[in-house]
Structure 1
Amino acid sequence: MINLKSEREKQSRRSRSGWLLLWLPIVPAVGLVEQRSWGQAALENWKQQMVAKGETFDAVRLWPPASARSVEFSKQLAQVTKTLPGRLQIYAGGMSGIIPDESGKARRGSQEPFPPINHHCVAVDEGYTWQDLDKLLQQSQPALQRLLELLKDPPTGIDYDIIKRQTTDSLPSFVAHRIAAQTLCASAINNLHRGNLEGATQDLQALRSFGKVGEQDPTLISLMIRMAIMGMSIDVCWDALQTDGWTEPQLAGLQRQCLEVTNVLSQLPRALEAERIARIYELEWFRSHSYPEWVARFRVRYAGSGWQPVPTDEATAVSLWRQGWLNRSWTVAWSEPEELKYMQAVQLELQALREVPHTLSALRLKEEINASRQGYRVPGAASRFYIKLPLADSYNDWSAGNQTRDSSYPYPDYSGAWFVVIKNLTLNEMVRTAIALKRYGLKYGKSPSDLAALVPDFLPGLPHDLMDGQPLRYRLESSGGFTLYSVGEDFQDDGGNAVASTTNGASADRLAWNGKDLVWPRLLPSD
């Protein structure tokens, strides 16, 4: 006899099992959809609050439109630099006006027996001489005159459309800027070697005008290019100021070319705003594409750069995990919470950067950035998130030299760039002060007892030591000379100690600015 009750129970169990199997994939999917709705709402609410406080997350609002004048300037700059002899760049790419020694003093690069190519003071071979350099520069006079003309009143706008650059995934090129700046640097040093102070002054003024080229471009790379060119001009200025024959109008004109520090410091938060917008775009792109498409995109973008992906980004197991569950669930549910976590962390650094034009202190900035990063906490169940964008962030670390940085803060670390800018601006303040001291000496025949004596005739106010927010240090020596210095990167006043505690891999010319204090170098006596 068939047990009908038992059969019905079996059918009921099978039916329940079927429904359970049917619902098993649906329940997590519903949870992911609910999580997505919550994440999108939380991100949008936070953005609205920030926009009400003046933040912008829109590239069109942060970037100015392309300027026809800037487009034409870039076109002409590229054309001019292409006419320069290739051999000239062997000189121009490695010359410096400062040849430091271990004591912290320096010789003038322009007065060395051979052009200091790659910061060596001996001939690379018998063909590399001052005569050869001068001949190349004479051949290049039409191009040099055109550079001087272009840089008399350079455009501050940008030469590209930001939306087109984002959608085409194109990278900017500053090759023409580099070649032009290095050529002007070589020309200035050669003019100083020949005793042509007027020609060197014209080259220097053009070189320092590069600080205004593309000044409205909010990108970090544009800012760093301008600061690098300013660094070249600082070394040449030191060489030039060691010579006699200056007139008051020449010095005053050169001093006017020095950048206004608060204007440049205000560009630091703008650069981070631009990087934030770039990351938002990357996150949006990642949401709408597969993991293999993301990998292929970065391989194409950085091909030929010398960068190699971090092995874990391309490991088979990792790649399969990301192509499978992680990328799909992240796209549906976790990408907006990840974006919000990033935005909240970066907002703290932005607030610190916005204080710098007021505090004028790298020390204060360092303390605030460290405090904000110490407060960072990895989100719970972190395996749901990428946190560090695959390939993109490892490339950023590689290009910035941050491969071994502290991993407790996972997002791109731009603090090295901020401190390079502030250090170069401190050196810019030293140039401005050294010119003022030279002008004072022309008028009174001696150095002042203190920097206050330069105000207001030669400086509008006391010059800033942007490393610690105090005025630059100055001491009148018994010999009649002076010591002018900043406390430097350790923020400790060592009394004007120019001796480097370590080279830290610095190139020879940068050793002049690698002492315990940043000291305006004293000229070594001639042999």
Structure 2
Amino acid sequence: ERPLCRYDLAWEETYAMEIPQFFSLRKVIQAFAVRAVFRLASGDSAGAARDIITMHRLAEAGGRDPLLVGMLIGLAGHASALNVLWDGLDRRAFTDPELQELDVVLAGIDPFPQRLAAVLRMERAIALRALDELEANPRRTRAMTGTPDHDPVFRWGFSTWMSANRLGVSEDLQEAILAPGGTPVTRLEWKSFVDWERRIEHRWRGPRKTLEALATLLTPAPVAAGRRAYLMEAEIGHARLAIALERHRLATGAYPASLAALVPDFLPALPEDRINGRPVEYRLKPDGTPLLYQWGFDGDDDGGSPRKDPGHGDLVWQYSLPPGFTEADWRRKD
């Protein structure tokens, strides 16, 4: 087995870089998902577990390059694998050895918020390179504006405008995400992404709107990318808890009274809530199935009510739909 995968990318081409491998990878993951579902339905839990593990490994391979689109496709691959895992746990299809192997794979996935820091640095580098190339060859801009080739006013104004946009690309990301207060961070916090979004909204609506228009267009959607990373981090934590709960049920015949009973026999430690810093909530529903949830991105306790939109509701793992929810609501991803 090869633990790592690396693609040769033409980084110097910035936004013209071709990345067909990521979309091919997504199709391969989807094919494994179809086979895993079929294997679950036919009673082949071992084969389904192997397919789920392969899906996670492929998703990790796609998300290793510090490129936003690669990370997003990797997150989508992990989400597909977790959907199949959820189906298998709902069916109570897996054996304890299969569950242990699945948990080992999930435990080995690097934290997505930390990976996002490298992605954002690369997106900034690509944006700065694109601005450098545009300034080095302003002929197209002069042709569009009808300005003479050697107009010194245009040359000075264009250079000043490009410098302002380069500063805009770097300033907000550096001050809000990577080094708030001038100190480089070792751990990204969700509130930093919210601060970054406020800064970009202020730029759009304030006096810098025209001066830094290119910077705003070249800045990756901060909260959307951050939300996906933190959401997947939460879902993997919930999946590990769900695996541990099922292993406890297989070993004792019942779910535990609290999550603390899972440590250390079924988990070395309880997963951490990286969004609000609170413990994951747990209780048994009237039908006897477990409910796991943590506060969502709005920072409110909705009592385990799942989100119907990206900004509201709790992040929930459960095996039956709550009243008023459809399958489309339940499986919707941000």
TM-score, normalised with respect to structure 2? 0.81
Counterpart of 1:320 in structure 2 is: 145
2:69 is aligned with 1:221: yes
Higher relative contact order (CA 8 A, sep 6+): 1
CA distance in 1, matches of 2:124, 2:199: 17
2:27 is aligned with 1:197: no
Secondary structure of residue in 2 paired with 1:184: helix
1:107-146 residue pairs with structure 2 within 5 A? none
2:309 is aligned with 1:482: no
Runs of 5+ unmatched residues, structure 1: 1-151, 296-318, 397-410, 505-513
1:474 CA drift (Å): 0.8
Counterpart of 1:357 in structure 2 is: 187
CA distance in 2, matches of 1:231, 1:377: 33
Secondary structure of residue in 2 paired with 1:456: coil
Counterpart of 1:276 in structure 2 is: 124
> Which residue of the other structure, out of 239, 253, 262, is the alignment partner of 1:431?
239
Checking the alignment, whether the CA contact within 8 Å between 2:62 and 2:73 is kept in structure 1 is no
1:349 CA drift (Å): 2.9
> Which residue of the other structure, out of 328, 340, 350, is the alignment partner of 2:167?
340
CA distance in 2, matches of 1:381, 1:423: 32
* Cα pair distance change 1:347/1:276, threshold 3 Å: same
Secondary structure of residue in 1 paired with 2:282: strand
CA distance in 2, matches of 1:476, 1:235: 21
> Which residue of the other structure, out of 246, 251, 260, is the alignment partner of 1:443?
251
Quick one: which amino acid aligns to residue 517 of structure 1?
D
Counterpart of 1:180 in structure 2 is: 28
Checking the alignment, whether the CA contact within 8 Å between 2:275 and 2:297 is kept in structure 1 is yes
1:376 CA drift (Å): 5.7
Counterpart of 2:85 in structure 1 is: 237
Counterpart of 2:329 in structure 1 is: none
Checking the alignment, whether the CA contact within 8 Å between 1:231 and 1:424 is kept in structure 2 is yes
CA distance in 2, matches of 1:349, 1:261: 26
Runs of 5+ unmatched residues, structure 2: 322-334
* Cα pair distance change 1:209/1:342, threshold 3 Å: closer
Counterpart of 1:206 in structure 2 is: 54
Quick one: which amino acid aligns to residue 317 of structure 2?
W
CA distance in 1, matches of 2:297, 2:137: 44
CA distance in 2, matches of 1:217, 1:521: 33
CA distance in 1, matches of 2:263, 2:118: 32
CA distance in 1, matches of 2:298, 2:165: 35
Quick one: which amino acid aligns to residue 335 of structure 1?
M
Quick one: which amino acid aligns to residue 292 of structure 1?
R
Equivalent pairs counted in the alignment come to 315
> Which residue of the other structure, out of 514, 517, 520, is the alignment partner of 2:314?
517
Secondary structure of residue in 1 paired with 2:106: coil
Q: Deviations over 1:263-293 (max 9, x none)?
A: 3221111111111111111111111113527
Checking the alignment, whether the CA contact within 8 Å between 1:472 and 1:486 is kept in structure 2 is yes
Checking the alignment, whether the CA contact within 8 Å between 1:185 and 1:233 is kept in structure 2 is yes
Counterpart of 2:2 in structure 1 is: 153
Secondary structure of residue in 1 paired with 2:52: helix
> Which residue of the other structure, out of 489, 496, 499, is the alignment partner of 2:304?
496
Q: Deviations over 1:410-459 (max 9, x none)?
A: x5432211111111221111111101111111111111111111112221
* Cα pair distance change 1:462/1:209, threshold 3 Å: same
Give me the identity figure in percent.
Answer: 25
Quick one: which amino acid aligns to residue 432 of structure 1?
R
